[in-house]
Amino acid sequence: MTSSTSPSPINSITGHTHLFDKPKRDALFNQIKSQRGRLTTQDIENLCSEYSLTQEQLLRECLPIASLFAVAPVSHFLVGAVVLGLDENQHVNFYFGANVEFTHQPLSLVVHAEQSAINNAWLNGAKSIVKIAISDAPCGYCRQFMNELADATTFDILLPSQQYKLNELLPAAFGPTDLGNEYSLFNPAPVTQTVVDQSGVCGALVDAALNAYVPYTKNFSAVKITTFEHGNFYGRYAENAAYSPSLAPLQSAISQLYLAGLPMDAQTIQKIELVQTKGAENQQQVSEAVLASYANLPALETYSLRLTQ
Ligand SMILES: [Zn+2]
């Protein structure tokens, strides 16, 4: 018999112990919010050193913090995901994500935690994904979403106590090449289009649209959420070969706003702009449906972008 020791904090979802006590978890949560859902290379080095962790161990330890970002008014089921990605200098960064749900709207509009984390990495310039840790097993939709990534055959999927490659979770997969698309998310086609008429849309929003991943509809589309006091948040359209797991630009931007710890309310949000490619528009109604979940927001402003082919 061994005598009992002082109790360790228990993750209520997995039953696993984790290292960060509540004050440390709260401090890290606030730091990550202030860094818009990221931990930098230096942050990661410091935490690994302070707690004697490998990067992979730290990634898993961050899951309970990632789950705190979830906004799940329908399911109340909080899911966290953290991507270990490499930036343009091959430096490791952690990109957080969590599920986002919308009241009184079709469930198909929600953002899954894995999408949120991958979107966060993509928008913040990550060049490759090495690992993704998830607080719960990825659903079929997310397995399909991850199959669109350039690193789909190589990255590790870490669950609280298991590890997989995507082809173990999604054998005989359908992917971009089945639709004749040789590119992928994080390996996009070079931008060859030029803007004929941007109709007064700001340059950063046009750039976001041109960097959308839209091999199937060619609707280069993006959203800008302007806040009164906390700067701007951009979202880009990320399509999927199976179509349904595509991430709409508005949801992409809302996910980023939530990763900064900000609410979608009239006190915070000054303006919401959607830009789409003329002749390929498909985001107006779905964006308005999502925004109908919130009270008293400014009306969606929509712009068309005329591009050369
Ligand atoms: Zn999912």
Q: Is there a shared CATH topology between the 22-173 domain and the 195-307 domain?
A: yes
pLDDT score of 29: 98
Helix, coil or strand: residue 134: strand
The residues assigned a catalytic role are: 114
User: How far away, in angstroms, is 79 Cα from ligand 1 center?
Assistant: 9
pLDDT score of 156: 98
User: How far away, in angstroms, is 167 Cα from ligand 1 center?
Assistant: 16
pTM for this structure?
0.94
pLDDT score of 71: 98
The H-or-E segment that residue 22 falls in is: helix 22-34
pLDDT score of 265: 97
CATH of domain 195-307: 3.40.140.10
Judged against a pLDDT cut of 70, whether residue 5 lies above it is answered with: no
pLDDT, average across residues 68-80 = 98
Q: Can you point out the beta strands (E) in the chain?
A: 38-39, 80-86, 92-98, 128-134, 156-159, 162-165, 195-197, 222-227, 232-236, 269-277, 301-307
pLDDT, average across residues 221-250 = 98
pLDDT band at 199 (very low <50, low <70, confident <90, very high): confident
pLDDT score of 74: 97
pLDDT score of 17: 54
pLDDT score of 3: 39
User: How far away, in angstroms, is 245 Cα from ligand 1 center?
Assistant: 9
Judged against a pLDDT cut of 50, whether residue 8 lies above it is answered with: no
Query: To the nearest whole percent, how much of the chain has pLDDT over 90?
Result: 88
Distances in Å between the Cα of 84 and the Cα atoms of 122, 133, 156, 270 are 12, 8, 10, 33
**Chain-wide mean pLDDT for the chain?**
93
**Burial (0-12, 13-18, 19+ Cβ within 10 Å), 203:** exposed
State pLDDT tens for residues 248-279: 999 999 999 999 999 999 999 999 999 999 99
Cα-flanking dihedrals φ and ψ of residue 111, to 5°? -105, 130
Judged against a pLDDT cut of 70, whether residue 10 lies above it is answered with: no
Judged against a pLDDT cut of 50, whether residue 149 lies above it is answered with: yes
Per CATH, the architecture of 22-173 is what? 3-Layer(aba) Sandwich (3.40)
pLDDT, average across residues 13-25 = 73
The H-or-E segment that residue 167 falls in is: helix 166-169
User: How far away, in angstroms, is 118 Cα from ligand 1 center?
Assistant: 12
Judged against a pLDDT cut of 80, whether residue 11 lies above it is answered with: no
Judged against a pLDDT cut of 80, whether residue 6 lies above it is answered with: no
Judged against a pLDDT cut of 50, whether residue 24 lies above it is answered with: yes
Copy the structure tokens of residue 265.
């309310």
User: How far away, in angstroms, is 70 Cα from ligand 1 center?
Assistant: 13
Judged against a pLDDT cut of 90, whether residue 38 lies above it is answered with: yes
Judged against a pLDDT cut of 60, whether residue 7 lies above it is answered with: no
Extents of the domains making up the chain: 22-173, 195-307
User: How far away, in angstroms, is 140 Cα from ligand 1 center?
Assistant: 7
pLDDT, average across residues 33-46 = 98
Query: To the nearest whole percent, how much of the chain has pLDDT over 70?
Result: 94
pLDDT band at 305 (very low <50, low <70, confident <90, very high): very high
User: How far away, in angstroms, is 303 Cα from ligand 1 center?
Assistant: 31
pLDDT, average across residues 166-170 = 98
